[in-house]
Structure 1
């Protein structure tokens, strides 16, 4: 039995990564692909993703027992990908993970056959989305926009542009992770683009 592929999804704040992943979940993940939940130290009703909420004490207890395949900290919260992901991969399932660029290097060490997926958008689109959610000041939004040029695009990334219709970006991600897709398997085609 061949080992499955890990699709590691990243994207700058405001690119709509969580929205694209939610769209994919709602519209039918391909047979043979599993979506990993993230374990996060925030309430279950908070945020834009279907995550498993843990207290900091619960998170640390699981981490000490080796129950995470990958962990990182961002925005004052702890994030984890469960060790069940390794089991799924060894059983031949492909796995879609909502990752972080901050943990990307460590993810590559732990999953050598990782396939990076970058969800991005134009500076204008990202600025509008950040302003609409009302969490950052104008100065903070400007600082985020200034950092966009430094956002890494790993080699062989599947790149999905989420500037237009969410369904287009979601459909592009679905097409890229289909088990019979040749988009990234051969590492030879151009990045997937939507919008």
Structure 2
């Protein structure tokens, strides 16, 4: 059986990565694509992505027990991708994971054949989305925009622009995955 492909989705805050992945989760199964949940030490009711909420103690127990394929920390939270992803890939499933730009090098070590996917948007769109969330002040938004502009896109990345219609960005991602799958 041919192994599945891991699509490691990343992007700056405000690019709409979670929204694109939610759209793909609703439409991608028809295309044979699975979206893995992230395990996060953030309450389930906190909003944002559909994730598995864990206490810090449970996260650490799962990490010590080897139940994560990949973990990282950001913004005071712990994030994990479950080890079930490796099982799904071994059984031929194509899987999207919501990754982190900071954890990309570790993800490449763990999954050398992964396909990087960058969800991005114009600085104006990102700034408007961040301001709309109301979690950061102007200086913090400016710092996020600076980090986004300094980020070197990994070679071979699929780049999905999410400036307009969410369905267009989601469909572009599914189309890029379909094209890569057919070329393989």
Range class of TM-score, shorter chain: over 0.9
In the other structure, the counterpart of 1:154 is: 154
**1:28, CA displacement in angstroms?**
3.7
Contact 2:9 2:99 in 1 (8 A): yes
Output the TM-score relative to the length of structure 1. 0.90
Q: Alignment length, in residue pairs?
A: 184
1:78, distance to aligned residue in structure 2 (A)? 0.5
State the distance in 2 between where 1:172 and 1:31 align: 13
Of stretches 66-75 and 42-51 in structure 1, the one that deviates more from structure 2 is: 42-51
Q: Which residue of 1 aligns with 2:7?
A: 7
Any stretches of 5+ residues in structure 1 without a counterpart? 187-195
Moved more, 109-118 or 148-157: 148-157
CA deviations 1:121-177 (Å, max 9, x no partner) are 011111111111111111111111122221121111000000111111011112122
What residue in structure 2 maps to residue 67 of structure 1? 67
- The answer on whether the counterparts of 1:30 and 1:174 sit within 8 Å (CA) in structure 2 is no
Q: CA deviation at 1:185?
A: 4.4
Alignment correspondent of 1:137: 137
CA distance in structure 2 between the aligned counterparts of 1:5 and 1:28, rounded to whole angstroms: 14
State the Cα RMSD in Å: 1.5
Aligned to 1:50: 50
Q: Distance in 2 between matches of 1:28 and 1:89?
A: 16
Partner of 2:72, secondary structure, is strand
Q: Give TM-score scaled by structure 2 length.
A: 0.95
Identify the residue that residue 189 of structure 1 maps to in structure 2: none
Match of 1:106 in 2: 106
3-state SS of 2:103 partner: helix
Q: Which runs of 4+ in 1 moved over 4 A?
A: 183-186
Structure richer in helix, relative to its length: 2
**1-side partners of 2:136 and 2:20: how far apart?**
22
Contact 1:29 1:174 in 2 (8 A): no
Q: 1:19: which partner in 2? A: 19
Q: Which runs of 5+ in 2 are unaligned?
A: none
